[in-house]
Chain A
Amino acid sequence: MNAGRQDGSPLMVMEKPLRPIGAAFPSQHPDVQRKSMKSETPANDIVSSLKDQFQRLEKRKPSLKQVLGPFKGIMIAGAELRADLEALPGPKMTSPDPLRLSAGVPLLADVELKKMLPDLKAGIKKMLTALGTAFPPLKEDAARLLARADEDSEAPAVWLETLVRNEEEAISELAEDMGLEPETLRFVMEQALKPHLQWLAHTLARHVEEIVWDKGYCPICGAYPDSSYLKKGDAEQEFLMAHGGQRWLHCAMCGHEWRMRRIHCPYCGNEDAESMEYLAAKETPQERVYVCHKCNKYLTCLDTSELIEKPPGDLIPFELLHLDVIAQQKGFTPLAWRHWNSKAA
């Protein structure tokens, strides 16, 4: 009997794995079905479902327990905060210029976020408390950021804008002012504000549903994806059921998911199938890492057509963490550096 793959088993390079090219895409446009992957589950169910999914993942892959541990508390606190935010009326936004979006400018690129956000204080306090518990050495830094938010109620929205626009200089300046390492500050800020950004993305996703978006970065916040997955099409077919997978990318920052052609490097736009491939262990072909030999970037990918249940997008990067190790050992770099795939973190 075939045994399930154990973590760390040797990986093999699959030959010409990406064929047939575009089998799942009858049209040249990757955006035929561009509905966002918004969850229809009630907010409170999201929290219990996330807890349940953590439990299952830990059972399936006990080796992940240690790395999941601290993020688990933060992500559950984030889901609870999201549940509270979902009860609020959605942010108001004038219809975006479709031409700008089509030209590749993300929805939130130049929007004043403070006008769209509710009072962030309670949410930030919740998240920073969870962060201090999950990462005790950061407790003091978290408290300092919270004190800043107390002093200036508009600061958190500005921080979120800084993160969304990836303004490194502004982060460095604030870090220096607070006596922190810029990367530490970025991490703390991100954890404090991510649920708010996810809520914004979730409620504003309708603005980007109809546009053609063939970029590798998020149409809402502009960040690169931290993982991707393949899924069967939603439509019920009368006779044969396609097993082929649409590829969806999951934003590392706001959690938005968007569809993209499979033979297309999300980083450099390379479409030459000969210079791209994916790596997978023989026993778990559904756990893949797609690499591009032109730009040397990689993106992990879970083929969910093989699975009983698709894990939530936020957990897929953890599920495929062993592939980050392999890809980096082979000299590739991730599209999005995350705290769990970066030595610096």
Chain B
Amino acid sequence: MPMTFFIDTTRCTACRGCQVACKEWHDFKSNETRQRGTHQNPPDLNPLNYKLVRFAEYKEKGRVVWYFLPEQCRHCEAPPCKEAADNYVQGAIIRDDATGAVIFTEKTRELKPEQMKDVITNCPYNIPRLNKVSGMLVKCDMCIDRVRQNMLPMCVKSCCTGAMNFGERSKMLKLANQRLAELKKKCPNAQLQDPEDVNVIFLLTDAPEKYYQTVTG
């Protein structure tokens, strides 16, 4: 039974605890950034940020609406990145049977630049990044070292609002559907993103493209 994240964006306050905890666990140094007029910082996922809270704001009917999306790899059931990589280097991208984690291995170094590009563009969610220092393709690894020890991924452990949830797929699907049914009463547009295809299921209350252009695969 694969493990699944359920991310309830309605509970997210964009504190970015998950983003920082992820960096801490992976021992990533800080990014040099500058003020761009948004709280989204750094501006995008990068080799030192496997997790990023995306911010999107709109003015609707005279009110400001602000959407938060704690972005990360979806650990797809049938990962298109792996399909692409398998054409070039077997074992560059693997899927762990026990947890369902999609893992980029050191063998991604063996991919040629155009092959890497193929892997990156094959991801419907715009997740993989190239670490120019190590020469590897990188992304969220589900904290597989923790998960194998029955410990929650760092982003989930650090979440203080209950937005990030993690557990066996059947339990998370149940939780997601319960929460969806509850929210539908207040927010008719509430929806789960690609629950059949991915193991990181976002619950949104508005059109996916309002959160980020590639929220839906």
Q: Using CB atoms and an 8 Å cutoff, list the residues of chain A in contact with chain B.
A: 1-5, 56, 60, 236-237, 239-241, 243, 284, 286, 306-309, 311
B25 touches A308 (CB 8 A): no
A308 touches B162 (CB 8 A): no
Contact flags B154-168 to A (C-beta < 8 A → 1, else 0): 000101111000111
A243 touches B160 (CB 8 A): yes
Q: Choose, from B141-149, B185-193, B195-203, the stretch at the interface.
A: B141-149
Select B166's contact among A2, A236, A308, beta carbons within 8 Å: A308
Sorted nearest first, the 3 A-B pairs with minimum C-beta distance are A241-B162, A4-B149, A307-B150
Query: Does B103 sit at the interface, judged by CB under 8 A?
Result: no
CB distance from B13 to the nearest CB of A (A): 8
Select A308's contact among B3, B145, B159, beta carbons within 8 Å: B3
A4 touches B145 (CB 8 A): yes
- Contact flag A241-B160 (CB < 8 Å), given A1-B26, A308-B166: yes
- Contact flag A307-B27 (CB < 8 Å), given A3-B145, A4-B145, A241-B162: no
Count of interface residues, chain B, beta-carbon cutoff 8 Å: 20
B145 touches A307 (CB 8 A): no
> Which residue of A has the minimal Cβ distance to B146?
A4
Contacts A56-B150, A240-B161 supplied; 16 other A-B pairs, CB < 8 Å: A1-B145, A2-B145, A3-B145, A4-B145, A4-B148, A5-B149, A60-B149, A60-B150, A241-B160, A241-B161, A284-B149, A286-B151, A307-B151, A307-B152, A308-B151, A311-B150
Roughly how many angstroms separate A237 CA and B3 CA in the complex, as a whole number? 24
Roughly how many angstroms separate A237 CA and B161 CA in the complex, as a whole number? 9
Chain A residues whose CB sits within 8 angstroms of the CB of B26 once the complex forms = 1
Chain A residues whose CB sits within 8 angstroms of the CB of B167 once the complex forms = 308-309
CB distance from A93 to the nearest CB of B (A): 36
Chain B residues whose CB sits within 8 angstroms of the CB of A241 once the complex forms = 159-162
> Which residue of B has the minimal Cβ distance to A307?
B150
Roughly how many angstroms separate A5 CA and B26 CA in the complex, as a whole number? 16
Report which residue of A1, A236, A284 has the largest number of chain B beta carbons within 10 angstroms of its beta carbon: A1
B150 touches A309 (CB 8 A): yes
CB distance from B132 to the nearest CB of A (A): 19
A239 touches B150 (CB 8 A): no
Chain A residues whose CB sits within 8 angstroms of the CB of B160 once the complex forms = 240-241, 243
Chain B residues whose CB sits within 8 angstroms of the CB of A2 once the complex forms = 25, 27, 145
> Which residue of B has the minimal Cβ distance to A237?
B162
Roughly how many angstroms separate A236 CA and B161 CA in the complex, as a whole number? 10
CB distance from A85 to the nearest CB of B (A): 28
CB distance from B189 to the nearest CB of A (A): 22
Roughly how many angstroms separate A341 CA and B149 CA in the complex, as a whole number? 23
CB distance from A314 to the nearest CB of B (A): 16
> Which residue of A has the minimal Cβ distance to B151?
A306
Report which residue of A3, A4, A5, A237 has the largest number of chain B beta carbons within 10 angstroms of its beta carbon: A4
Chain A residues whose CB sits within 8 angstroms of the CB of B152 once the complex forms = 306-308
CB distance from B30 to the nearest CB of A (A): 17
Chain B residues whose CB sits within 8 angstroms of the CB of A1 once the complex forms = 25-27, 145
Report which residue of A240, A243, A308 has the largest number of chain B beta carbons within 10 angstroms of its beta carbon: A308
Chain A residues whose CB sits within 8 angstroms of the CB of B162 once the complex forms = 236-237, 241
Q: Within residues 1 to 36 of chain B, which ones have a CB less than 8 A from any CB in chain A?
A: 3, 25-27
CB distance from B15 to the nearest CB of A (A): 10
Q: Within residues 46 to 60 of chain B, which ones have a CB less than 8 A from any CB in chain A?
A: none
> Which residue of A has the minimal Cβ distance to B152?
A308
Chain A residues whose CB sits within 8 angstroms of the CB of B166 once the complex forms = 308
CB distance from B157 to the nearest CB of A (A): 6
Report which residue of B3, B147, B149, B168 has the largest number of chain A beta carbons within 10 angstroms of its beta carbon: B149
